[in-house]
Each structure stands twice: as structure tokens, then as C-alpha cells.
């Protein structure tokens, strides 16, 4: 298979100002199949100079785009939504190939990610300010919402489509232009999406895409420019901190969707079948390579043995293999470093006293695979409970009381998602309020929803994507003081 079998040859280049073109120095990067390490495609590799060209295009397009009627912006998103829906199968295959997830999961991501286009096509026409009388009477207060201006988006490899649409959807709806730098491991999906948005009628320069192996150089160049007004990043906390620091010079607005360390709490009164079902979703979505992935299973000691046994049965029955093959449930991890990281966390946990109920090693053969794994008796302080695992490993730790469960759950620098299984309504309310996380799932292993405000607290970042809140990240408020009549 060659890159052209996946995308038309010109779509394997940079997308700047509505045109496809090579990198200025002719550099190229390789996209690999994580199932066997082979080269899938070669894509233009943007330099800082190319990224600045993309910013020029975004800046040039900004004023006209901001003046476009909201209905027109919404209709473009809606058309893109229809096109993505029609092309679900080809997008899913492309994403499965470059990222590793199964085609079925990739279809799920296309459907989920595409909902941000639909949601924000509907939000585009609901941008409004307010009119009010000053409390003391007399003057009137008017607020006007305006697009923040040209944006810079950096997205990760784990959800190549959805992490893009979550930013592009609201930015388009709000009237912002943008430069997108997808993860170098998975640029193909974003390039395919750019072509779809162009086909849907997005004017030249509104969306520019610059895959690159030099993300630091690109972000430094773009963020030093005061015409760039907004940075939205999804990725690791370390890179997020760097970008927040870089944003200080030009005081760009920033949204940060960073790492997580989600606790999955199972109380003694929980419906255990439902908890195991939820655990499979919260842990195994995307092979565990999700910022929302359940990272620590905190289970009441009276049900821990049963929960662990049932979870191990389900995890042990999963078929590991190439994401495009029939019957496969779990694809490869993204690269060798990812497998080594997961393997090290498991080795350390066993050294700390954990027992392996199922899995615990990497299968023989090519590719970056790791077996679905369940560990029990994991000490709370073991590295696997502290760091983001980003792989198919479920460590189980026990607790005795509700207070202890909440304390353990909150004992992390992260604060993205959390999950609670209980049938007690009063406990549901107490625990949901006490958990220091941006999102709490009650008796569900899936919190992501385009209509909900997705985001974290603490070292998981700030800002929200989706929901009514999502578009606010791309709007400025102008207050107009008026005399009374």
C-alpha cells in the first residue's frame, strides 16, 4: 500500500490558504503502521517558516470570515458533518491504519467527533450578548461577542479526528481562523478532514494544516506573533506547561486539555455487573490510550475479589491484533516507547506487591502490542497509580470507607475524569461533589458527549470543549456603556 492509496497525492502535503503545497525545504515525514512498524505514507513536514505562511493565511482570512453571517458558518459545518458521515468507513479505515485502533472503534470516533460539527453548526446561530439596565438605573449595559481571532491548535495522536473537530467546530462557528498542527504520528486523518471542510465550502485560509516533526519550533514562531490570539492544546501536561509559558509574551488566550489519572470507584452497594461493563469501557476505549481512561480502580474490599475476577475474565477474552482484522478487540499501542512505558509500570507494580490476574506481558511478534492486564493488591503509592498508564492495564486497589475512597481518588495532581459506581443516591451526591475532577461519571464508563463541557481541573488543564461552554473559548466580550434614555 502506498500513501496515495490512502489519500490523493496532493493531500499528503501542507494545506495553506486553501492550497496544497510541499514544505518550503521539501522535507517529509513518515507515517507508520503501529501494527508492524511499516511506512504507510510520506507527508510534507512543515518548518516554522511554513507555519508562519499558514498564520499569514489565517490572518488574511480573519476579517472576512468574522463578518460571514453565522448561518453561513453553521451551514458549512453542517455540510461537513454530512460529508464526514457519508465517508465514515474510509475515515475509520485511515484512522485505524495510522493510529492502530480497531476499525469499529474508529467508526465510533468518527461518529463522536463528527457530532462536534453538528453541535457547533447549531451553536453558530446562538451567539449573543446582553442588554441590561445598570443596577442604579440610568445607563444601559450592552455586551457584544466577537471571535477571538486567529487560533493555533495542537492535537494528539490518540483521537486524530475528534480532538480536531472539538476545536475546529467551535472556532468555525465563532468566526475564527486557524492553524492546526496534528500529531506527527497521525496527520492523515486531519489532512482528510481539511479536504472535507474545503469541499463543504470553508473559505481559503480559514483552516490551515501543518503536520510537522518540529512542533516546538512551530509553536515558538507562531506564539511570538501578536496576531495569533488563541492557543488550544490537547496533549500531555508537560507540553501544556511549555505552551502556557510561551503564551505569556503575547498574552494569548489558552485552553489546555491535558493528561488524566481517572479513579474508578466501586462501592460495596454497586451493581457489579454494571461496574464491570463500565470498567471495560472506561479502561479499554482506545486500548487505554485515552486521557479519560480509568487509571486506578478503587474498589471496596468486600467486593474487590469478585470485581477483579470478573474483570479479568472479560479482559482475558479480548482478542489482540491488527485493528483492521475481523474479530480483533484490541489493537497495538502507538509506538515502542508506549509499550515499554506500560511494561515498566506493570513490572514496578509487581515489584511493589501487586499480583497479575491476567495478561502482564507483551505478546511475541511484530508491532507495539500489550496484553489486556488486570493487577490486584496494588499499593496506592505504586507508580502505576500515580502516572498516566495510557495502555490496557487495570490496577485494582482496595478501600474500606467512603472517606478513604474519596481521599485516594483525589490524591493525584490530575483532575480530568472520574467514575463512580453506587446505587445509593445520597452517596452519589456526596461523592460527586467531593471529587476534585472536571467530570464525574455515575454508573457509566463513558462521559464524553459533544453537548457536555469536557475538561479538567488541576494539572489536567483548563477550558472546556463541547457544550454551551465550548464556543465561549473562541469569543471575546466587548462591553458598550450607553446612557439611559
Answer for the pair 230, 150: CB distance below 8 angstroms, yes or no. Answer: yes
Q: Decide if residue 447 touches ligand NAD (CB under 6 A).
A: no
311 exposed, middle or buried (CB, 10 Å; 0-12, 13-18, 19+)?
buried
Q: Decide if residue 439 touches ligand NAD (CB under 6 A).
A: no
279 exposed, middle or buried (CB, 10 Å; 0-12, 13-18, 19+)?
buried
Instruction: Tell me whether residue 41 or residue 76 sits nearer to ligand NAD (CB atom).
Output: 41
Determine the Cα–Cα distance for residues 267 and 278; give it in Å rounded to an integer: 14
Among positions 30, 68, 88, 236, the unique one binding ligand NAD when judged by CB under 6 A: 236
The dihedrals phi and psi of 203, each to the nearest 5 degrees, come to -60, 155
Q: Decide if residue 337 touches ligand NAD (CB under 6 A).
A: no
String marking each residue 461-480 x if it binds ligand NAD according to CB under 6 A: --------------------
Determine the Cα–Cα distance for residues 245 and 247; give it in Å rounded to an integer: 5
Determine the Cα–Cα distance for residues 388 and 238; give it in Å rounded to an integer: 12
String marking each residue 258-277 x if it binds ligand NAD according to CB under 6 A: xxx-----------------
Q: Decide if residue 224 touches ligand NAD (CB under 6 A).
A: no
Q: Decide if residue 216 touches ligand NAD (CB under 6 A).
A: yes
Instruction: Tell me whether residue 103 or residue 161 sits nearer to ligand NAD (CB atom).
Output: 161
Q: Looking at 98, 105, 257, 465, which residue is catalytic?
A: 257
Q: Decide if residue 160 touches ligand NAD (CB under 6 A).
A: no
Q: Decide if residue 239 touches ligand NAD (CB under 6 A).
A: yes
Question: Closest separation between CB of residue 474 and ligand NAD, Å?
Answer: 17
Question: Closest separation between CB of residue 216 and ligand NAD, Å?
Answer: 4
Among positions 291, 320, 376, 406, the unique one binding ligand NAD when judged by CB under 6 A: 291
Q: Decide if residue 157 touches ligand NAD (CB under 6 A).
A: yes
Question: Closest separation between CB of residue 48 and ligand NAD, Å?
Answer: 11
Q: Decide if residue 438 touches ligand NAD (CB under 6 A).
A: no
Query: Pairing relation of β-strands 439-442 and 207-209?
Result: unpaired
The question of whether 105 is a catalytic residue gets the answer no
In which residue are the cell numbers 487560533 written?
Answer: 151
Among positions 57, 154, 176, 231, the unique one binding ligand NAD when judged by CB under 6 A: 154
The question of whether 268 is a catalytic residue gets the answer no
Determine the Cα–Cα distance for residues 348 and 229; give it in Å rounded to an integer: 44
452 exposed, middle or buried (CB, 10 Å; 0-12, 13-18, 19+)?
middle
Among the listed residues 323, 326, 329, the one whose alpha carbon sits nearest the alpha carbon of residue 367? 323
- Identify the DSSP state of 11: G
Q: Decide if residue 242 touches ligand NAD (CB under 6 A).
A: yes
Q: Which window, 15-23, 101-109, 231-239, 307-315, contacts ligand NAD (CB under 6 A)? A: 231-239
Q: Decide if residue 250 touches ligand NAD (CB under 6 A).
A: no
Answer for the pair 98, 185: CB distance below 8 angstroms, yes or no. Answer: yes
Q: Looking at 56, 105, 289, 291, which residue is catalytic?
A: 291
Determine the Cα–Cα distance for residues 44 and 239; give it in Å rounded to an integer: 23
Answer for the pair 134, 142: CB distance below 8 angstroms, yes or no. Answer: no
Supply the residues annotated as catalytic.
257, 291
Binding site for ligand NAD (CB under 6 A): 154-159, 163, 181, 183-184, 215-216, 219, 234-236, 239, 242-243, 257-260, 291, 388, 416, 456
Amino acid at each position: 500500500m502506498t500513501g496515495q492509496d490512502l489519500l490523493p497525492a496532493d493531500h499528503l502535503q501542507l494545506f495553506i490558504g486553501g492550497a496544497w503545497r510541499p514544505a518550503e525545504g521539501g522535507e517529509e515525514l513518515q507515517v507508520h503502521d503501529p501494527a508492524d512498524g511499516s511506512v504507510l505514507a510520506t507527508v510534507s513536514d512543515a518548518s516554522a517558516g511554513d507555519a508562519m505562511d499558514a498564520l499569514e493565511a489565517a490572518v488574511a482570512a480573519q476579517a472576512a470570515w468574522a463578518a460571514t453571517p453565522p448561518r453561513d458558518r453553521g451551514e458549512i459545518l453542517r455540510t461537513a458533518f454530512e460529508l464526514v458521515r457519508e465517508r465514515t468507513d474510509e475515515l475509520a479505515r485511515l484512522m485505524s491504519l495510522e493510529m492502530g485502533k480497531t476499525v469499529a472503534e474508529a467508526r465510533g470516533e468518527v461518529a463522536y467527533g463528527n457530532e462536534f460539527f453538528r453541535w457547533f453548526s447549531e451553536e453558530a446561530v446562538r451567539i449573543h450578548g446582553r442588554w441590561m439596565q445598570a443596577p442604579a438605573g440610568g445607563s444601559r449595559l450592552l455586551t457584544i461577542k466577537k471571535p477571538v481571532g486567529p487560533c493555533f491548535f495542537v492535537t494528539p495522536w490518540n483521537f486524530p479526528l475528534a480532538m480536531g473537530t472539538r476545536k475546529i467546530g467551535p472556532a468555525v462557528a465563532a468566526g475564527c481562523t486557524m492553524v492546526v498542527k496534528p500529531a506527527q504520528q497521525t496527520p492523515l486523518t486531519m489532512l482528510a478532514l481539511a479536504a472535507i471542510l474545503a469541499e463543504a465550502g470553508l473559505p481559503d485560509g480559514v483552516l490551515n494544516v501543518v503536520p510537522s516533526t518540529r512542533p516546538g519550533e512551530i509553536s515558538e514562531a507562531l506564539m511570538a506573533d501578536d496576531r495569533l490570539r488563541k492557543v488550544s492544546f490537547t496533549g500531555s501536561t508537560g507540553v501544556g506547561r511549555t505552551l502556557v509559558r510561551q503564551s505569556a509574551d503575547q498574552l494569548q488566550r489558552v485552553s489546555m486539555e491535558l493528561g488524566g489519572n481517572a479513579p474508578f470507584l466501586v462501592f460495596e452497594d454497586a451493581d457489579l455487573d454494571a461496574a464491570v461493563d463500565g470498567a471495560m469501557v472506561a479502561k479499554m476505549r482506545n486500548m487505554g490510550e485515552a486521557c479519560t481512561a480509568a487509571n486506578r480502580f478503587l474498589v471496596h474490599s468486600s467486593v474487590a475479589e469478585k470485581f477483579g475476577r470478573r474483570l479479568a475474565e472479560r479482559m482475558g477474552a479480548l482478542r489482540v491484533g491488527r485493528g483492521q482484522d475481523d474479530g480483533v478487540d484490541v489493537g497495538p499501542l502507538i509506538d515502542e516507547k508506549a509499550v515499554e512505558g506500560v511494561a515498566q509500570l506493570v513490572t514496578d507494580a509487581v515489584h511493589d506487591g501487586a499480583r497479575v490476574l491476567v495478561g502482564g506481558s507483551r505478546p511475541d511478534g511484530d508491532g507495539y502490542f500489550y496484553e489486556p492486564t488486570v493487577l490486584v493488591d496494588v499499593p496506592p503509592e505504586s507508580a502505576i497509580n500515580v502516572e498516566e498508564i495510557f495502555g490496557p492495564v487495570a490496577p485494582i486497589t482496595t478501600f474500606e470507607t467512603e472517606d478513604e475512597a474519596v481521599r485516594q481518588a483525589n490524591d493525584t495532581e490530575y483532575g480530568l475524569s472520574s467514575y463512580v459506581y453506587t446505587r445509593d443516591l445520597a452517596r452519589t451526591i456526596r461523592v460527586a461533589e467531593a471529587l476534585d475532577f472536571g467530570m464525574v461519571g455515575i454508573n457509566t464508563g463513558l462521559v464524553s458527549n459533544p453537548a457536555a463541557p469536557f475538561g479538567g481541573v488541576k494539572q489536567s488543564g483548563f477550558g472546556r470543549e463541547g457544550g454551551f461552554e465550548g464556543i465561549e473559548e473562541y469569543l471575546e466580550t466587548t462591553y458598550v456603556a450607553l446612557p439611559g434614555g
